[in-house]
Amino acid sequence: MNIVLVHGAGGRPTTWIDVEPRLAALGHRTVTVTNPLTSLQDDVAHTTAAVEALQGPVLLAGHSYGGAVITNVGNHKSVRGLVFIAAFGPDKGETVNGIVERYKPAEISAYMRRGPDGEWKSEPDERFWAEIGPDLSPRHRAVVEAEGRPAANLIFRQPTGEPAWRTLPSWYLVADDDRTLRPEAQRDMAARMKATTSNVPGSHYTTLVHPERVADLIHTAAVAVSGTP
């Protein structure tokens, strides 16, 4: 199965650094994208181009804001299913920011800084790691710090189109101790999309902390949508 892996706000393909080899070992072809993070529309167009470059059916997996991207890209005719990893799954006309504002502010809000052009970037320090990513190893901290790209305000404020999760089978992995995207928001979105839902302990950095669980869920979804035993 072709699997396109989509990072979140401020991320890079290294989000999937420990997931990709596990999927490859299971026989899947994986493609990661580096979205421009200039707007939701731009990121959807960039990821759609990656889907169109592949031959055969595609499974999309998105982490965090990447869930908003796959919610839109999933309408492409090649896409067979969606996997959300502690991710946003907006409904039609909804924005990422609108979802966040329905809940008590997550702890990460204390560490977000706005740039001169309205872009957002987190500012990690020792207090940040203790509160937001206490389960990250030093190696994984370095991965997150190296990712660190600013994200334009438009990725959070552009409304989504018709959500692909209305018509495609979906899976959702909830991070129970997430202080970036509140777990109750994750559970509510998973229930709304009628996703097959499972849980893991730990922070928002699920793909780094639990790569085996993430890979297993994506593999399960890939087998289900491919129709092979």
pLDDT tens-digit readout, 75-103: 999 999 999 999 999 999 999 999 999 99
Helix (H/G/I), strand (E/B), else coil: 105: coil
Each domain of the chain, given as residue ranges in start order, spans: 2-226
Select from 71, 45, 91, 92 the least CA-distant residue to 164: 71
Residues 6+ positions from 90 with CB-CB distance below 8 Å: 68, 71, 96, 98, 99, 159, 160, 163
The token pair that represents 137 in the structure block: 């190893």
Instruction: Between 21 and 112, name the one with better pLDDT.
Output: 21
Residue 117 confidence (pLDDT): 78
Q: Give me the pLDDT at residue 122, please.
A: 85
Question: Identity (one letter) of the amino acid at 118?
Answer: G
Q: What single-letter DSSP state applies at residue 93?
A: T
pLDDT at site 124: 83
Q: What's this model's pTM, rounded to 2 decimal places?
A: 0.96
Q: What is the pLDDT of residue 227?
A: 75
Query: What is the distance between the alpha carbons of residues 70 and 82, in angstroms, rounded to a whole number?
Result: 7
**Mean pLDDT over each residue of the chain, to the nearest integer:** 96
* Mean pLDDT confidence for 18-32: 97
Half-sphere exposure of 114 (CA within 13 A, CB side): 6
Report the C-alpha gap between 72 and 129 in whole angstroms: 32
Given a contact cutoff of 8 angstroms between Cβ atoms, the answer to whether 12 and 34 are in contact is: yes
Outline where the chain has alpha helix (H).
20-25, 40-52, 66-73, 96-100, 126-132, 138-147, 154-157, 183-192, 206-209, 211-226
Burial pattern 128-145, b for ≥16 Cβ within 10 A else e, equals bbeebbebbeeebbebbe
pLDDT of residue 121: 84
The torsion defined by the Cα of 81, 82, 83 and 84, in degrees rounded to 10, comes to -160
Strands 29-32, 79-85: pairing kind: unpaired
* Pairwise CA distance, residues 62 & 93, whole Å: 19
Say yes or no to pLDDT of 229 above 70: no
pLDDT in tens, 155-190: 999 999 999 999 999 999 999 999 999 999 999 999
Q: How far is CA 133 from the centre of its chain?
A: 16
Q: Which CATH number fits domain 2-226: 3.40.980.10, 3.40.50.1820, 3.50.50.100, 3.30.70.20?
A: 3.40.50.1820
